[in-house]
Amino acid sequence: MVEEPVDSPDDETQQSTSEESILTSERFWFAIDRQLLGSGLRLVLILPAFSFFTYFGALAFSATSPKWWSQIEPTVGISFAMALTALTFVLLLGYILAQTFHRHRVELSLNNFEQEVERLNGEHLSVQSLHGYESLADQLSGAKSKHTWSLSFGILSSLLLIVIFFVDIASLNGRIMLLLSFSTLMLSLSQHFLTRSSPFNMDERTGLLKAYNPPIHPSTLEMVFDDLVKTHMDPLLRSVYEIYSKELEQCLKRGTDPQYAREKILMTLYRHSKGLDFKTMESELSEVLTKKGMDLVRSHPVFTIEEWLSIIDHIEHACPAFFRMIGRIEEDLGAGRAATNSDIVFEVDMENVVHERANLFTLIHNLSDTPRNVVLRVQSPDFRPHDIAMTYRLNPGEQHWWSAKALPLAAEGDEDVLGLMSGLLRDGTVAWQSLLPERFGEATVSVRLEEQSGDLIIGRQINVRVRTKFLERILGISSVTTGLLGILGISAAVFIKISEILGNIGV
């Protein structure tokens, strides 16, 4: 019988020490990157921007130096154009160092990502099986590849500048080398611009959220806040959230419905992000959580209050229509306004400005005592699909989740806005549809709630504007422009050199 090798405690200790070392190293480099390189001072953009002036200055004065330089040239021993070339080389050297450190930080983040996946697999949490993992992993590795290309083009640009010191910039070959150096720098920037729209890091627990694009989401939300959170969490954070949710369910007060408790916890955290004071937040959470559960919320190693604020802010930025919709309902509950219809609550919202796709949210809740069947129909000539029809069976809620009198935002018990809103989301039906725009400009969407016979119950008309994201459009245009300049510059340099060779042959 062959015994399987077992990792010794020393091996596990060494592996843990190695992981902590990489994480500590990333924390150091990420602090520098955030303050000086990729963000903050943004040296990876400022240095090449300054080099543009020195490039064109060196080319403009390649034949003759300005008159005032004639008094300095005997002392320094180089022409004005060569001095600008030397200054350009110094700027490029700084740019290369900034790109090297930036790429090193990205590589550390990618290593930490892979180690975290292995650690979760060791805890029998298969991250690779979660939706979105493959696209996220591919995007992270692709970002590393782009940084490598950007650094390589930057190094090549500096090497071409060094050649100028041997051939002299006043010669045709020197000017060709200067053009090639500028062109390869453009190609370097073109690759770098592609990485700026989806920054990521592993130093922060929420560092992958901006790089993660959810590939799938439910069309009908069972537990609304919970589904939204799990949809927008990256696979690593989502796997930890599942464990966290189970731990919270074991800390609920007796007789508390787990789904209602989870929705109320997330709703309360959301209201805290919008200004609900900490003491009132803890009071609301203590209505569904035991003392052990409150301690877990306060001191969880991953999902701290600060992390929850970051997560909620990210979700609110991704789905503003949903939070605007529930905000209107909260205002109606707080003011004691009557529901849209005496027998049904119906609210719908959608982004005012649509970019890649439109998120249409609708909330339907049956206020009567009898079940009823309704048809939700979405029609638009400007979005795909053009016509959607979904039939829902609306059962009565466990209680009448509405109030004809004004309610406080938070109070003891469930007779407050937070309590009614949590119950409304739990017992109501929330639909989430992604609509794909077919053209830019003004667009309309018609949302109808109908009886099965086709009779209209309530209808809404939504007017939106479809446009590209400003930042991504700027980055895309910048990447394409610098890439074309680089290619044209290299082509022009090759053409000039071939013309010179053919001209000499003809002579």
The contacts of residue 95 (CB under 8 Å, 6+ apart) are 43, 44, 47, 48, 51, 154, 185
* Whether 359 contacts 350, CB under 8 Å: yes
The 10s digit of each residue's pLDDT in 265-324 is 888 898 888 888 888 888 888 888 899 989 998 888 889 889 999 999 999 999 999 999
> Rounded CA gap, 85 and 181, in Å?
11
- Concatenating the DSSP letter of every residue in 157-198 gives HHHHHHHHHHH-TTSHHHHHHHHHHHHHHHHHHHHHHTTTTS
pLDDT digits (tens, 9 = 90+) for 128-150: 888 888 888 888 888 889 999 99
For residue 345, pLDDT over 50 is answered with yes
Report the distance separating Cα 393 and Cα 375, nearest Å.
9
Q: Which residue has the tokens 């919008």?
A: 274
Which position has the token pair 């921007």? 49
Q: Cα–Cα distance between 269 and 312 in angstroms, integer?
A: 8
What is the pLDDT confidence band of residue 412, given thresholds at 50, 70 and 90? low
Contact 420, 401 (CB under 8 A): yes
* Two tokens, residue 484: 């074309």
Number of other CB atoms surrounding residue 358 within 10 Å: 23
Q: Are 286 and 331 in contact (CB under 8 A)?
A: no
Tokens (6 digits) for 479 = 């990447």
Q: Where are the beta strands (DSSP E) in 117-246?
A: 220-221
Query: Is the peptide bond prior to 385 cis by the omega test (within 30 degrees of 0)?
Result: yes
Question: Beta strands 358-366 and 344-349: pairing type?
Answer: antiparallel
Angle at 185 between CA 156 and CA 90, to 5 degrees: 75
Residue 337 pLDDT > 80: no
Q: What pairs with residue 359 in β-bridges?
A: 434
With a pLDDT cut of 90, the percent of the chain lying above it is: 23
> What local confidence, expressed as pLDDT, does residue 4 receive?
44
Is residue 378 within 8 Å of 360, Cβ to Cβ? yes
Query: Rounded distance, CA 288 to CA 286, Å?
Result: 5
Which DSSP string do the residues of 348-406 spell out, in sequence order? EE--SEESS-EEEEEEEEE-SSS-EEEEEEEE-SSEESSEEEEEEEEPPPSS----SS-
Q: Which two tokens stand for residue 49?
A: 């921007």
pLDDT interval class at 190 (50, 70, 90):
very high
Structure tokens that stand for 336 in this block: 């004691």
Contact assessment for residue 386 and residue 433, using Cβ atoms and an 8 Å cutoff: no
Q: What is the pLDDT of residues 369-381, one digit of tens each?
A: 888 889 999 999 9
CA–CA separation, 20 and 441 (whole Å): 50
Q: Which of 127-131, 303-307, 408-412, 420-424 has the highest mean pLDDT?
A: 303-307
Stretch 497-504: mean pLDDT, rounded?
79
Task: Determine the 3-state secondary structure of 460 from DSSP.
Answer: strand
The string of DSSP codes covering 114-139 is HHHHHHHHHTT--GGGSTTHHHHHHH
Q: Tell whether the model's pLDDT for residue 193 goes beyond 60.
A: yes
95 or 23: which leads in pLDDT: 95
Length of the chain: 507
Residue of higher predicted confidence among 401 and 16: 401
pLDDT value at 54 more than 80 = yes
* The pLDDT of residue 335: 75
Q: Does 185 score more than 90 pLDDT?
A: yes
DSSP letter (8 states) at residue 33: I
Encoding tokens for residue 17? 């020490």
With H, G, I as helix, E, B as strand and everything else as coil, classify residue 443. strand
Among 193, 230, 208, 54, which Cα is nearest to 484's? 193
Which pLDDT value is given to residue 150?
Answer: 92
The predicted model gives 226-231 an average pLDDT of 91
- In one-letter notation, the amino acid at residue 430 is V
Mean pLDDT of the chain: 84
Q: Kind of pairing, strands 429-437 and 441-451? A: unpaired
